[in-house]
Amino acid sequence: MRFAVRPARMRAGRVLLSLVVVGYRLGMVSASRGREIAARVAFQGEEAAAVRQLGVEYASTVLPGTLRQSALERIEWHKRQGDDVVLVSASLDVYLAPWCERHGVDYICTRLEERGGRLTGRYIQGDCSGAEKVRRIRERFQLSRYALVYAYGDSGEDREMLELAHKKYYRWTEIASWDDVTSYGHPSAER
């Protein structure tokens, strides 16, 4: 958002979204809903081509510095095995798509709606998190065709997706099920 949203809109957004942030911290607003509201404030009415170009720039200049080397190595390992590699994320298509395309990885993510060359600030099919990740995965892939499915996640919004997989990794630690993750968000030490 900081990369693509005009400064005046960003200042106004901080004021408008302050209640959403408070609601999130108090557990009254989900992360998913907070992202939807933020996207509306940030992108409604913006020229789609300009935002998409900023997404391409972000994917090539900023995103590489935020990625874990171990994650990139794991993606490459899966590709060498001949696996179908799909990044499933609540991240926005404007920057995730160019990154995935550059790295030869398929993707399922949150997509910004466009009408008449302008962004509406809404999502196509909603936020790609939680159960929505599972719905989209099943929509695109017949999982029974795969002898082994891996899934990697790092937040509670990945729970349902992790439960689809034969081999589940939460914050880079293999788990048998979500029950292995404590209320603190880390794999249980008791395994």
Superfamily for 7-180?
Answer: HAD superfamily/HAD-like (3.40.50.1000)
Residue 37 CA, chain-centre distance (Å), reads 16
Domain spans in the chain, listed from the N-terminal domain onward: 7-180
3-state secondary structure labels for all residues of 104-142: CCEEEEEEEEEECCEEEEEEECCCCCCHHHHHHHHHHCC
Q: Which helix (H) or strand (E) holds 34?
A: helix 31-43
Q: pLDDT tens per residue, the chain (191 residues)?
A: 777 777 777 777 888 889 899 999 999 999 999 999 999 999 999 999 999 999 999 999 999 999 999 999 999 999 999 999 999 999 999 999 999 999 999 999 999 999 999 999 999 999 999 999 999 999 999 999 999 999 999 999 999 999 999 999 999 999 998 888 874 456 654 43
